[in-house]
Amino acid sequence: MCGIVGYVGKKTALPILMTGLKRLEYRGYDSAGVALVSQFGCQVVKAVGKIAQLDKELGDHAYEQTVGIAHTRWATHGVPSVLNAHPHTDQAGEIALVHNGIIENYQSIREALERQGRKFRTETDTEALTYLIAEYYEGDLTEAVRKALSQVEGTYGIAVVSSKDPDIIVAARNGSPLIIGDGGDEFFVASDVSAVLNHTKRVVFLDDEEIVTITRKGYQITTIDQATITPHVEEISWSLGQIEKGGYDHFMLKEIHEQTATLCDAIRGRLNFEEGKPRLNGLNLQVDQLRTIDRIIICACGTSWHSGLIGEYVIEELARVPVEVEYASEFRYRSPIIPENSVFIAISQSGETADTMAALREAQHAGAITLGIVNVVGSSIARVTDGGVYTHSGPEIGVASTKAFTSQVMALNLIAILLGRMRNLSVQQGLELINYLEAIPGQVGKMLQQDETIKEIAGEYYQNNNFLYLGRGVNFPVALEGALKLKEISYIHAEGYPAAEMKHGPIALIDEMMPVVVIALKDPVYDKVISSIQQVKARSGRVIAIATEGDTEIASMVDHVIYVPKTHRLFTPVLSIIPLQLLAYHIAALRGCEIDQPRNLAKSVTVE
Ligand code: G6P
């Protein structure tokens, strides 16, 4: 979604801002712009489309300013256009502002200013805030921002510059992430660490309702209520290499192939073989709290919701604790019942998804213990929850989530075994389970070797316009996730279904033009899944089966088989999803799609 980057230092700001914007491209956007500031004014250049378009618009002109802000916009209020793109300026063109989030009461602010004769040029909520800051400006930009923000309802991450105060950036956050990059004698503001990582690894995460004034000498953080905040500088462990393609054609393919390593990272130091149980100190829960949990509520969106569904099967079976999994956007608006001794788990790669954050607040309000399964260290969800498990998958740049998903599932497996051991599982049973988990990264490596075979299968099907994905039990959510991957990046219509439900509707769609991907692993429902396959074949459907290594009989019934190594039945999703990720990738590549930044999608959805 929208991205912000700002620079204050001694170097020419423009190239730094442009590189920062490129690093933010992965979040998804439809227009971009920069504002460069000096005592002579704010120079604003904007363009619709990709950063390359903005580059073109900037032309060969020498921009020498050493302070500036830049933005990638993902339209919410008003169509993607040069006018609606950020930065926005006040009527005099002296103040420029970039904004992530939504100003909910912008209409009333706008109407009040219009009554005073101000003329607005756009339909955006952001322009109203820019004008309001200008209204309050009396020689101190920070104070003007503070006064304006005290009138604002909604969410924001903003960065503001003014030609009357040309050596500073004022930034603030409420519900939309913002970090300060501390480069010693140059400073940055950004919505995401990847925008500043090639300059500094020292960052400060701003908290809600904090305002920072950044100069060439340093930065000062205060709250909206004027309390002074002592900054806590954190060292980012991500390397620049992790946010580059490293020889792969797309970030998504690189991230799929990283899963052997990321799954190792997800379990590293967390398997206690002596006690046959995972070590999850970050949960911040006492043994008696773990034992008395009566109910688990999992909320998430998109791919993270699918990992939650897998978690439901694994936790209920291993720990016998009832689990409810809900879309975060639904949970928050339906007066949910959150009984005592409930634990609420928010799952989020970015840790910033607005709906998940809102559901989490709802659960906190009701008094639940809240945990996060989060990838981005220091993100809002990670900081607001009582405890949790970091997935340690490193930066995920491809919009379609892959490595973050498998690590989320791994984290849920760990939680399930831990809860099981607190209740009904013996040391021996726990040990067997964690031995299975330990073997999974190597097995994923084996699955990835089938990349070429999967590419060949993709070659046979990439022109089809509909796909059906079937699975049962713990592999039903894998079918959902496989279908989601395909539709996200190839724009092919795909649906995931529990295999047995096919006969209640989707079977009507089956013909030779409808490829059906079936996860048919050797488990207690194998025979039932085989009978679904036969129903598809009887109607001339074409089947790609994901089967257990050694299952030779299935090959004669289907068109293609991709084999998955043996593991514990409940842990198969981490393996069975790998071919589905690769299939979606290769189909999208053959169709010539923009894989890392699919149309209309955003990596981190920070609006409702
Ligand atoms: C967006 C992304 C999805 C992601 C979902 C939830 O829609 O495009 O890939 O699964 O948000 O994101 P989160 O960061 O909360 O996991």
Question: Among this protein's residues, is 217 annotated catalytic?
Answer: no
How many angstroms does the Cα of residue 536 sit away from the middle of ligand 1?
Answer: 32
pLDDT score for 378:
84
Amino acid symbol at 588: A
How many angstroms does the Cα of residue 56 sit away from the middle of ligand 1?
Answer: 31
pLDDT digit string (tens) for 509-524?
A: 999 999 999 999 999 9
pLDDT score for 242:
79
Question: Residue 335: pLDDT above 90?
Answer: no
Residue 197 and residue 203 in contact, taking contact as beta carbons nearer than 8 Å:
no
Ligand 1: which of 176, 603, 607, 608 to mutate, most ligand atoms within 8 Å of CB?
A: 603
Where do the H-state alpha helices sit in 332-387?
Answer: 354-365, 380-384
Question: Residue 455: pLDDT above 80?
Answer: yes
pLDDT score for 176:
87
From 29, 25, 21, select the one nearest 4 (Cα to Cα): 21
Closest Cα to atom 1, ligand 1: which residue?
603
> What average pLDDT does the segment 54-69 reach?
94
pLDDT tier, 147 (very low <50, low <70, confident <90, very high otherwise): very high
Residue 165's φ and ψ, nearest 5 degrees, are -135, 65
How many angstroms does the Cα of residue 252 sit away from the middle of ligand 1?
Answer: 14
Ligand 1: lining residues by beta carbon, under 6 Å: 301-304, 348-350, 353, 356, 399-401, 601-605
> What average pLDDT does the segment 444-449 reach?
96
Mean pLDDT over all residues of the chain?
94
pLDDT score for 602:
82
Cα-only R_g, the chain: 25
How many angstroms does the Cα of residue 284 sit away from the middle of ligand 1?
Answer: 26
Question: Residue 77: pLDDT above 80?
Answer: no
pLDDT score for 115:
96
> What average pLDDT does the segment 280-301 reach?
92
Omega cis (within 30) before 598 = no
pLDDT score for 517:
98
- CA pair distance 160, 99, nearest whole angstrom: 9
Residue 191 and residue 174 in contact, taking contact as beta carbons nearer than 8 Å:
no
Question: Among this protein's residues, is 2 annotated catalytic?
Answer: yes
pLDDT tier, 332 (very low <50, low <70, confident <90, very high otherwise): confident
Closest Cα to atom 3, ligand 1: which residue?
302
Residue, of 504 and 335, whose pLDDT is higher: 504
pLDDT score for 237:
83
State the helix-helix crossing angle for 476-490 and 302-319, rounded to 10 degrees.
Answer: 170
Which is it for strands 234-235 and 202-205: parallel, antiparallel or unpaired? antiparallel
Question: Residue 343: pLDDT above 90?
Answer: yes
Q: Please tell me whether residue 587 adopts helix, strand or coil conformation.
A: helix
Torsion of CA 205, 209, 210, 213, to 10 degrees: 120
* Atom in ligand 1 nearest the alpha carbon of residue 488: 8
